[in-house]
Amino acid sequence: MGVGMSDVIDFVCQGQVGVLTIDNQPVNAASHRVRSGIVNAIRNADADAGIKAVVLIGAGKTFISGADIREFNQSPKQPYLREVVLELMSASKPWISAIHGAALGGGLEIALGCHYRVALSDASLGFPEVNLGLMPGAGGTVLLPRCVAMKDAIQMITTGKPVMARDALAKGILSAVTEDSLAEFAIEFASQKAGEPLPVPLSRRSVIEPLTRDEADRQLAALRHKSHGQQSPVVALETILATPGLGTEEAIKLERDHFEQLKASEQSRALRCLFFAERNTGKLSELSGIQPLKVEKIGVIGGGTMGSGIAATCLLNGYAIILIETSEAATQLARQRVWEILSDSKKRGLISSSKFHALTSAFQSSVDYQAISDADLVIEAVYEDLKVKQEVFRRLDESMRPDAVLASNTSYLDVNEIAKYVVDSSRVIGLHFFSPAHIMRLVEVIKTETVAPQVLTTGIRLARSLSKIPVVSGVCDGFIGNRIMSAYRREADYLIVEGASPDQVDAAMRDFGFPIGIFQMQDLAGLDIAWAMRKRQSKTRAPDIGYAGIADRLCELGRFGRKTGSGWYNYEGGIPELDETVNSIIADERDARLIVPQSFSADEIMKRILNAMQGEARRVLDEGIARCAEDIDVVMANGYGFPRWKGGPMFMQNR
């Protein structure tokens, strides 16, 4: 066989070992050309007596990221992905998949079709299809339970979460893991397997540790509850559980039928739209060709919950961090918060013990602004008060290099007003992280009136480097997300004044697919934050905007939510419950307005909330605060719990 089979497939021989390299950049998706190339290589290798084994490897940064989603809306072309997998299992010579980067979805199915799998130690393997409203469709639900214990297969497929190479080796997915050159290791491994009897392909093996009927029923019930209405995880689990009672061909056919049903569903269409929307955020045409500033050292001002979360996130992603607090005592508390986040990452296997110690040793803190004088970028995360933030920026302007980027993590405040306290306001930007900052994926990148394009690009690139989703927003009260949330929170307040109860509203939102309801969410976030915002807005609030003062009265009583033991709900018993204080305040508000309470169905509650959400979202779009409707959907899904499988409020409105 010669070198260079096609523009996406390359095949060379190194002695008796053939090396097939997939080079379909940027992520080596298993497109039609890739699938055809692999099948041709299998057949040619079988016919070539000089080839004793074949290594399948990816060029660039990754192995195979999965199927080519762009082909989903086209007529399918043979060879189908499942045919590629079956051809690999039927090959007469050993095939070894060599995995670096990630083997995801169809990429992992191709790897499972090979006789052996080896990987670099930092590689990851997974089936993320449920996140697109799908499930494996080329044998994943059939082959994985024959490779690992069924409980592990269920965990991987129904959650969509990948496993790292060492874990995959322990579970039985991989044959070997290496720290060194993957290609050299794989070729040597293949040379050792050449001429040996082929292992029994996964398609002919039995399911490993199948669940009992009772275990299966419990798993299904728990997953239905956890999925909040999303179909794909439940259908995937039902398919896996059917596998032990079916032959391989029957099981693969059942999997394919379920895959096609999910692919045609509205939920999958919504999730796929959201997937592409998330990939396109931050891609502003006016920033084309503009390179970001170099950022290596970051300062964080404020070590509370948000500041420590931001600092830990930056540390985990390779940035040098200096955190500034107001006192030595506050500094120690901030350090403790950061260490707790890093410790949790170590416990979950995301970082090694040596990495943990390296990060904690590298983390610096101070009470002196001069400590960040040489930082490339600083993120202010102090209390949500305009004057306090303006004073911080005045001090930053005095202390830092004139080319450093100054960012505010404000949730509501006018970043233009903050920028006025800096001589060169073009270097000021908003970076609104969501709490907890080390977990939440969304960052609103606030575009001020005077920000330099290179500074805006730097903010977007920084968010991406932290594995966040950057959404550019114009300046207004609350930006995109909090402005829309404030609108439907007001509508929820009106609903309880008119007769609904907070727990009815929350239940309707959970039934719709939100993980928690709006009143639960306020208690979790802390009622005092929104209270401060409402007091600030009181002088300029338009008279035509109705206002229910129930939350204000709760705050006046010191009921700030979970952190004080009570808010909309009372948490003293460990279970959130409405108490007489809340019921009495609601009754007082109704009496003051001469309102006779009425009853609402869950559908009526959600219609009101969605109308308020979509109406405000449309105004945000019309005013140019949001770049496009898709950005709004990304914000609501990633920052406010809007069910991803519904696509977002704008997707629902426009469908």
Of 195, 208, 38, 21, nearest to 109 (Cα)?
38
Task: Give the torsion sign (CA, 244, 248, 249, 255).
Answer: positive
558 to each of 493, 518, 580, 581, 591, how far by Cα in Å? Answer: 19, 19, 16, 12, 23
Q: 153 is written with which tokens?
A: 């297969």
Among candidate residues 87, 109, 384, 444, the one labeled active-site is: 109
Q: Do residues 7 and 31 make contact, with C-beta atoms less than 8 angstroms apart?
A: no
Strand boundaries in 223-368, DSSP class E: 297-301, 320-324, 364-366
Strand, coil or helix: what is 96? Answer: strand
The rounded distance, in Å, linking the Cα atoms of 206 and 217 is 21
Is 209 marked active-site?
A: no
Write down the catalytic residue from 129, 278, 384, 630: 129
Q: How far apart are the C-alpha atoms of 266 and 158, rounded to whole Å?
A: 19
Phi-psi region of 358 (alpha: psi -120 to 50; beta: other; left: phi over 0): alpha
On the 0-12 / 13-18 / 19+ scale of CB atoms within 10 A, 348 is exposed
* Cα 458–chain centre separation: 21
Round to whole Å and give the CA distance between 283 and 184.
39
Describe the strand order of the beta sheet including 102-104 as a list of residue ranges. Answer: 102-104, 124-126, 163-164
> Is 109 one of the annotated active-site residues of the chain?
yes
**Cβ within 8 Å of residue 20, ≥6 positions away:** 9, 10, 11, 37, 38, 41, 54, 55, 56, 57
- DSSP state at residue 200: P
Residue 469: what are its φ and ψ, rounded to 5°?
Answer: -105, 110
Measure the CA–CA gap between 620 and 474, rounded to whole angstroms: 9
Buried b / exposed e across 231-243, counting CB within 10 Å, b at 16+?
bbbbbbbbbbbbb
CA neighbor of 248 nearest in space, from 199, 205, 198:
205
Half-sphere exposure of 580 toward its Cβ, with a 13 Å CA cutoff? Answer: 0
What residues are labeled active site?
A: 109, 129
